[in-house]
C-alpha cells in the first residue's frame, strides 16, 4: 500500500448518475474504511482538529475505525457533532481538516470526510443508540430555525438538560439540508431525517410551520411562552438577482426556487403535486456550490446545462469535488462570461442570455483577480431557462420584527464573536443569519458556541 495515496471510493458512473437522483458517492466498505484509517499518522499535535469548526477528535475516531471499533468511533464523534453522516458528505474538508493533514504535504490527505461519513452511516445501519439522558434543569430555550446552526445549538443544550423547542418556518425540519442541498449529495429520508431524529431523541422538540416574526415574535416567546434564552439560526435564505433587464421574464428562476421545488417539494418524484419546469437549454449564472447543485439538478431533470461564470476556473468558489463531478456529468462551463441582459420572445419567455466576455485584472479585496469586461465582446447564448445563483442574504423577517436586534448593512445579525450574543438581551444568533451564506459546519460551530454561552449565562 502506498501511504501517500488515498483509498479509492466507489461512485455511480457519471453517465448513469446524470439521469437519476441517487447518491453520487457510494461510500467506503468496512474494509476500505479500515485501510484508509490505517493511513492516519495519529499525530501528537493533530492539525486537523484545529481546523474543525466543531473540534471533533479526528485522530481518536480514526484509530477506532482502524481497529474496527466503529461504535466507539461514532461515540467519539457524537461528543462534538450529531450530524456525522451529513458533515461527512457536505463539509469542505479540503480547506478544513484535510487541508492541514500532514500527509497532504507530500501526498494525499487522509480522507477524513469519507471516514466520518462511513462512521455515521455505519452507526445508522447498526442502530447505535446515541441518546444520553441527563436530568432536566427545567429551563426553556427556544431555537429559531432547524438548519445546521439550530440543530447543533439545540442538541448541545438538550445534552446539558435544557428543555429546547426548535421553531421551523417550513413544513420539514433541516433547513438548507432539506430545501437546498440535493438528494444526490445528501439523501433526505435516510441520512438527514435519521440524524434529526437522533437530535429529537436527546429531548429536543421541533415545531414546524411556525414563522418567527410572523406567527409569533421573539418578544412573545420570551414574555408569553417563558423561554429564558433564544438562539436565532434562521440562515440566509433570500435569493439575490443581478438587476439586469429581462430578469422577470418567464423562465428566469432563482437557484433557491429550483432547489426548493426539487428537494423540499420533491417535484422530480412521481405523485408529488409541485411542478418544476426547465427548458432544453439551461444557463446557471454563478460559480458557487449552490450553482453546481442547481446545474446538476437541472441536468438530472433532462436539460443541457451551462454554468455561466464571470471569472476563470481557478476562482470558482465551489468545492473542487463539486466542479469535478459536474464536469464528469456533462455540465458545460462558460467561463469569463458575464450576462448583461436576459432576452425574451414576444410572449415574454426567455430565448437567450446576452453576455460579454471578461478577462482577469488586478486582485480585488477578496484576493481573487477581478473580472474586467472585454470591449466589444457582446454575444448571445441561446437559452430557454436561466437560473440565477448569485448568493443569498439573511431574511429580514426576524430582524424587522424584533425591537433592539441590530443588523449590519448586509442584513446580517450583529453578535459578540465569542458568545453569539446579539444586541438584545437573552437573544443569541449564529450561522448564516450572522455571517451571510457560508457552510454547514461553520453554522454548526456557531450553534455550539452559542449553546455554551447560553448555558453559562443561565447557570448562576
Partner 1 sequence: MFKITGKKLIAPDTYWMDIEAKRVSKSAKPGQFVIIRMDEKGERIPLTICDYDALKGTVSIVFQAIGTSTKKMAQFEVGDSFLDFVGPLGTASEFTLESQSELKDKKVMFIAGGVGAAPVYPQVKWLNEKGIKADVIIGSRNKELLILEEEIKAVAGNVYPATDDGSYGYKGLVTDLLKRLVQEEGKKYDVVVAIGPMIMMKFVTILTKQLGIKTIVSMNPIMVDGTGMCGACRVSVGGKIKFACVDGPEFDGHLVDFNEAMRRATIYKTEEAKIEFRKSEEHDGGCACAEGRK
Residues at the site binding partner 1, with contacts judged by CB under 8 A: 169-171, 179, 208-211, 214-216, 237-239, 241, 243, 247-248, 250-251, 253-254, 256-257, 260-261, 264-266, 271-275, 277, 347-348, 395-397
Considering the complex, state which of residue 133 and residue 400 has its C-beta at the smaller distance from partner 1.
Answer: 400
Residues paired with residue 206 on neighbouring β-strands, in sequence order: 166
Considering the complex, state which of residue 128 and residue 238 has its C-beta at the smaller distance from partner 1.
Answer: 238
C-alpha–C-alpha distance, residues 74 and 386, integer Å: 43
Considering the complex, state which of residue 116 and residue 384 has its C-beta at the smaller distance from partner 1.
Answer: 384
Q: Collapsing DSSP states into helix, strand and coil, what is residue 97? A: coil
The H or E element spanning position 231 is strand 229-232
Considering the complex, state which of residue 123 and residue 402 has its C-beta at the smaller distance from partner 1.
Answer: 402
Considering the complex, state which of residue 10 and residue 208 has its C-beta at the smaller distance from partner 1.
Answer: 208
Least distance CB 142 / partner 1 (angstroms): 13
Record the cell numbers describing residue 251, joined without a space: 423562465
Least distance CB 275 / partner 1 (angstroms): 5
The H or E element spanning position 455 is helix 440-458
The H or E element spanning position 289 is helix 289-300
Least distance CB 266 / partner 1 (angstroms): 8
Give the C-alpha distances (Å, rounded to integers) separating 299 from 4, 14, 247.
Answer: 35, 12, 22
Strand 304-309, strand 205-207: pairing = unpaired
Considering the complex, state which of residue 81 and residue 263 has its C-beta at the smaller distance from partner 1.
Answer: 263
Least distance CB 349 / partner 1 (angstroms): 9
Record the cell numbers describing residue 145, joined without a space: 430555525
Least distance CB 388 / partner 1 (angstroms): 8
Record the cell numbers describing residue 143, joined without a space: 431555537
Least distance CB 294 / partner 1 (angstroms): 12
DSSP-assigned states of every residue in 394-436:
--THHHHHSTT--B-TTSPBPB-TTT-BBSSTTEEE-THHHHS
Considering the complex, state which of residue 272 and residue 379 has its C-beta at the smaller distance from partner 1.
Answer: 272
C-alpha–C-alpha distance, residues 381 and 379, integer Å: 7
Least distance CB 81 / partner 1 (angstroms): 26
Q: 15 — phi, psi (to 5°)?
A: -65, -35
Amino acid at each position: 500500500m502506498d501511504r501517500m495515496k488515498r483509498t479509492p471510493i466507489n461512485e455511480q458512473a457519471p453517465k448513469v448518475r446524470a439521469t437519476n437522483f441517487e447518491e453520487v458517492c457510494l461510500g467506503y466498505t468496512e474494509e476500505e474504511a479500515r485501510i484508509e484509517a490505517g493511513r492516519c499518522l495519529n499525530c501528537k499535535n493533530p492539525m486537523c482538529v484545529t481546523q474543525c469548526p466543531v473540534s471533533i477528535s479526528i485522530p481518536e475516531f480514526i484509530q477506532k475505525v482502524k481497529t474496527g471499533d466503529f461504535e466507539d468511533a461514532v461515540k467519539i464523534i457524537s461528543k462534538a457533532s450529531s450530524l456525522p453522516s451529513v458533515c461527512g458528505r457536505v463539509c469542505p474538508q479540503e480547506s478544513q481538516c484535510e487541508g492541514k493533514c500532514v500527509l497532504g504535504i507530500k501526498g494525499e490527505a487522509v480522507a477524513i470526510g469519507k471516514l466520518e461519513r462511513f462512521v455515521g452511516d455505519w452507526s445508522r445501519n447498526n442502530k447505535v443508540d446515541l441518546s444520553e439522558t441527563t436530568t432536566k434543569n427545567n429551563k426553556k430555550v427556544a431555537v429559531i430555525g432547524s438548519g445546521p446552526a439550530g440543530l447543533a445549538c439545540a442538541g448541545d443544550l438538550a445534552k446539558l438538560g435544557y428543555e429546547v423547542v426548535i421553531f421551523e418556518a417550513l413544513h420539514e425540519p433541516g433547513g438548507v439540508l432539506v430545501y437546498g442541498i440535493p438528494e444526490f449529495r445528501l439523501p433526505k429520508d435516510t441520512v438527514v431525517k435519521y440524524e434529526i431524529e437522533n437530535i429529537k431523541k436527546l429531548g429536543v422538540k421541533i415545531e414546524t410551520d411556525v414563522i418567527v416574526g410572523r406567527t409569533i415574535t421573539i418578544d412573545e416567546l420570551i414574555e408569553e411562552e417563558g423561554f429564558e434564552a433564544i438562539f436565532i439560526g434562521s440562515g440566509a435564505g433570500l435569493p439575490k438577482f443581478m438587476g439586469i433587464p429581462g430578469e422577470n421574464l418567464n423562465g428566469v428562476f432563482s437557484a433557491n426556487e429550483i432547489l426548493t421545488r426539487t428537494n423540499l417539494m420533491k417535484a422530480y418524484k412521481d405523485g408529488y403535486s409541485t411542478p418544476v419546469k426547465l427548458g432544453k437549454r439551461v444557463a446557471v449564472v454563478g460559480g458557487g456550490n449552490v450553482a453546481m447543485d442547481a446545474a446538476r439538478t437541472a441536468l438530472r431533470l433532462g436539460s443541457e446545462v451551462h454554468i455561466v461564470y464571470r471569472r476563470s476556473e481557478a476562482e470558482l468558489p465551489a468545492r473542487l469535488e463539486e466542479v469535478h463531478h459536474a464536469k464528469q456529468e456533462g455540465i458545460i462551463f462558460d467561463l469569463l462570461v458575464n450576462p448583461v441582459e436576459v432576452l425574451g420572445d414576444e410572449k415574454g419567455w426567455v430565448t437567450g442570455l446576452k453576455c460579454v466576455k471578461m478577462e482577469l485584472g488586478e486582485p480585488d479585496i477578496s484576493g481573487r483577480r477581478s473580472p474586467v469586461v472585454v470591449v466589444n465582446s457582446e454575444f448571445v447564448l441561446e437559452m430557454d431557462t436561466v437560473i440565477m445563483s448569485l448568493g443569498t442574504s439573511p431574511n429580514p423577517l426576524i430582524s424587522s420584527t424584533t425591537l433592539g436586534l441590530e443588523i449590519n448593512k448586509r442584513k446580517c445579525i450583529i453578535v459578540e464573536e465569542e458568545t453569539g450574543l446579539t444586541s438584545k438581551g437573552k437573544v443569541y444568533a449564529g450561522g448564516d443569519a450572522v455571517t451571510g451564506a457560508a457552510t454547514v459546519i461553520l453554522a454548526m460551530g456557531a450553534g455550539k458556541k452559542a449553546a455554551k454561552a447560553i448555558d453559562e449565562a443561565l447557570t448562576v
